[in-house]
Amino acid sequence: MKRVLFSLLITVGHYGFCQDTLSHDALIPKSVIKYSPLHLVNHYPSIQFAYEFALAGQWTAQFDAGYVIDYGYDLDEFKNKRGFKLKAEPRYYFDGKPDKGVLFYFAAEFYGNRINFDRTEVQQECFDLGCNHRYTREYDMTVKYRELGSTVKFGRLKWYRDIVFDFNFGLSLRYIRYHHPIGTGPVDTWFAVVNEDDRTAFGPHLSVRIGYRLK
């Protein structure tokens, strides 16, 4: 009798362990499309979508692409923004709370931003060779913004049936370059909102995405 009870306990325990493992694995995204609302409030706003899919075991990969948009009411220093943002990251889901639909993960993101915008420059010009009669003329010149970077981050995934909320934070290493037209440079006025100096710097990272399970 004792042997029967012991065998039964072992079987139930093994079954319970397998159920937890399967529940955890079932929460790992197999095919999920996501949208990033925070990218719309960026200085270079974009419509940003991501696709995450399973690789093997607890590993997944996510690819992210965004089209930079222009709201049409920017200052003369940042007009007609256009370009794209690309991201790619491997993820590892290491822990979670399957009974609450929660998973935790580590990820390494690699990204690149390629964005152009127009800047109005006012120049003094002359009607005659002696420059006795002057006038001002406005020119729209293209400024090129390029950024490459990598981010190490920790994230939390929360499922509500087929809807998922993906939150993560971390630290980014950024390589930023601005290419100004000859004779121009960074904006240096009280309303300048962007540091246009070429630089390599660390910065904080924060991201929120809303997704839907495709399968």
The CATH code of the domain that includes 125 is 2.40.160
b/e map 94-121, b = 16+ CB within 10 Å: eebebeebebebebebebebebebbbee
What contacts 110, CB < 8 A, 6 or more positions away?
87, 88, 89, 149, 150, 151
Token pair, residue 64, equals: 């992210």
Looking at residue 100, its amino acid is: K
Domain membership of residue 129 (yes or no) is yes
Q: How many degrees, rounded to 5, is the angle at CA 170 between CA 112 and CA 96?
A: 115
Q: Which of 50, 49, 62, 59 is nearest to 28 (CA)?
A: 59
Residue 99's pLDDT is 86
At 107 the pLDDT is 98
pLDDT of residue 88: 98
For residue 65, being part of any structural domain is answered with yes
Residue 16 lies inside a defined structural domain of this protein:
no
- Single-letter amino acid, residue 197: D
Q: Tell me: the pLDDT tens digits for 47-88?
A: 999 999 999 999 999 999 999 999 876 677 888 999 999 999
**Is residue 12 a part of any domain in this protein?**
no
Q: What is the model's pLDDT at position 72? A: 74
pTM above 0.75, yes or no: yes
Domain membership flag for residue 191: yes
Tokens of 101: 């639909």
If one counts the domains in the chain, the total is: 1
Within the chain, strands assigned E span: 31-35, 46-56, 59-68, 79-97, 102-126, 134-160, 163-179, 199-213
Is 9 within a domain? no
Structural domain range at position 83? 29-213
| Residue 8, domain member (yes or no) | no
Give the residue among 215, 212, 213 at the shortest CA–CA distance from 35.
212
* pLDDT at residue 103, rounded to an integer: 95
Q: Look at the block and give the residue holding tokens 């300048």.
A: 192
Residue 57 lies in a domain: yes
At 82 the pLDDT is 95
Long-range contacts of 51-57 (CB under 8 A, 24+ apart): 52/91, 52/211, 53/29, 54/28, 54/29, 54/30, 55/90
DSSP state of 132: -
Within the chain, which residues score under 70 in pLDDT?
A: 1-23, 73-74, 122-125, 127-128, 130, 133-135, 137-138, 183-185, 187-193
